Structure 1
Amino acid sequence: MNTLKRLANGIDRINQAVGRFVSWITALLVLVVFADVVMRYVFQISFVFTQELEWHLFAFIFLMGAGYTLLHDGHVRVDIIYQKLGPKAQAWINFLGCLLFLFPGCFLIIYTSWGFVENSFAIMEGSPDPGGIPLRFILKSMIPLGFVLVWLQGISLFINSFLVITGRQETNREAA
């Protein structure tokens, strides 16, 4: 069981580090949007590159931050019943949710996006707009990578839920 717990903790550390990095990208996005607004409304100029950079950064934040969000139980869900349950019942819901929904969903997205990413790399896809970002293929590679991070965090949640169910841990949030 120590091996499983070490694996879960290692996955948690990966997504924690990615989340810290994403927080800096979020700060960068705020600066880019601020600069875009000032350029548009004060100087009456706009650049395609700046507008595309905004949505590229947002997509990166969303995709790379999803595993971190799962680590901190921040995904939106209806907690009408879940929040009133004890740790063991919550662990069962998380355990079955990972097994029946999270793992198959991540696999489906990783599998179906792989060809999409390969094609994008094959043609070195960039922006179709003049002055746009030339490296769109890099952004598209974040789709499977982001879902690998969610899948990994799901493994950690699955392990921690299993440990709660078997009585080897008291809650899904116990420290290492």
Structure 2
Amino acid sequence: MLAFLHLVDKISTKIGHLFAWTIVLLTGIIVYEVFTRYVLNSPNPWVFDASYILYGILFMMAGAYTLATNGHVRGDILYGFLEPRTQAILDLILYFVFFFPGIIALTYAGYTFADEAWAIKEMSSITADGPPIYPFKAFIPLAGFFLLLQGVVEVIRCIMCIKDGAWPKREDDVEEVDVEKLKASLGKN
């Protein structure tokens, strides 16, 4: 079972690392726009659309990676002092009450949203003569799928922790250390 968890973690990590490169592209586009706007006095209307689209893709496709690295926001100060079983029970409840309904809705609505955008070959309406945005809307259900897959893995982790009393080991590059350091400094290990 641990091999399956690590496989999905690796997939989420690879996707996160791949889409992290959009930051480089986004930075290049913004630098280009600043140069053309302020040095050449020739702004480009497509840059706003491009930056908006690239940031959206980065944000969506990094979701599963962030979940795999245990990086989503939570009250770590209080949460970190709970016993692992209690953490797992709390996480399991929250996955089923909030996470899965939200991600299933995102995936379903995102598929419909993307399908309609492809059907009409949707163009951006933010700027005149905006670029096509229908290819980028396909990332919405895709991101939802990867989040669902990683969510299933996290639920399995919760069940394993409830059963064993300890969290199953994550890949080395996704270990949480801040709470452990805090506990060690307070002598609560």
Interval containing the TM-score (normalised by the shorter chain): 0.7 to 0.9
- The aligned counterpart of 2:130 is 132
d(CA) in 2 for partners of 1:75, 1:45: 40
Q: Deviations over 1:25-48 (max 9, x none)?
A: 112111111111222222222112
| CA contact 1:47–1:131 (8 Å) conserved in 2 | no
Aligned match for 1:62, one of 59, 65, 70? 59
Q: Which runs of 5+ in 2 are unaligned?
A: 173-189
- The aligned counterpart of 1:18 is 15
- The aligned counterpart of 1:170 is 166
Q: Which runs of 5+ in 1 are unaligned?
A: none
Larger RCO of the pair (alpha carbons < 8 Å, separation 6+): 1
Amino acid at match of 1:171: W
The SS at the match of 1:44 is coil
Q: 1:175 offset after TM fit, Å?
A: 4.2
| CA contact 1:157–1:172 (8 Å) conserved in 2 | no
Question: What stretches of structure 1 move > 6 A for 4+ residues in a row?
Answer: none
Q: Deviations over 1:17-73 (max 9, x none)?
A: 101101211121111111112222222221122221111110000010111111112
Moved more, 75-84 or 41-50: 75-84
d(CA) in 1 for partners of 2:171, 2:158: 14
Identical-pair percentage? 28
Q: Deviations over 1:87-138 (max 9, x none)?
A: 222122222221221111111111222222111010111223444322x011
d(CA) in 1 for partners of 2:168, 2:31: 39
The SS at the match of 2:150 is helix
Amino acid at match of 2:34: V
Alignment map for 1:4-153 (pairs within 5 Å) = 5-128=2-125, 129-134=127-132, 136-153=133-150
d(CA) in 2 for partners of 1:115, 1:67: 21
| CA contact 1:60–1:142 (8 Å) conserved in 2 | yes
d(CA) in 2 for partners of 1:14, 1:160: 16
| TM-score (normalizing by structure 2) | 0.82
The SS at the match of 1:166 is helix
Q: Deviations over 1:137-172 (max 9, x none)?
A: 1111111111211111111111111111111x7324
CA distance 1:115–1:123, change in 2 (3 Å)? same
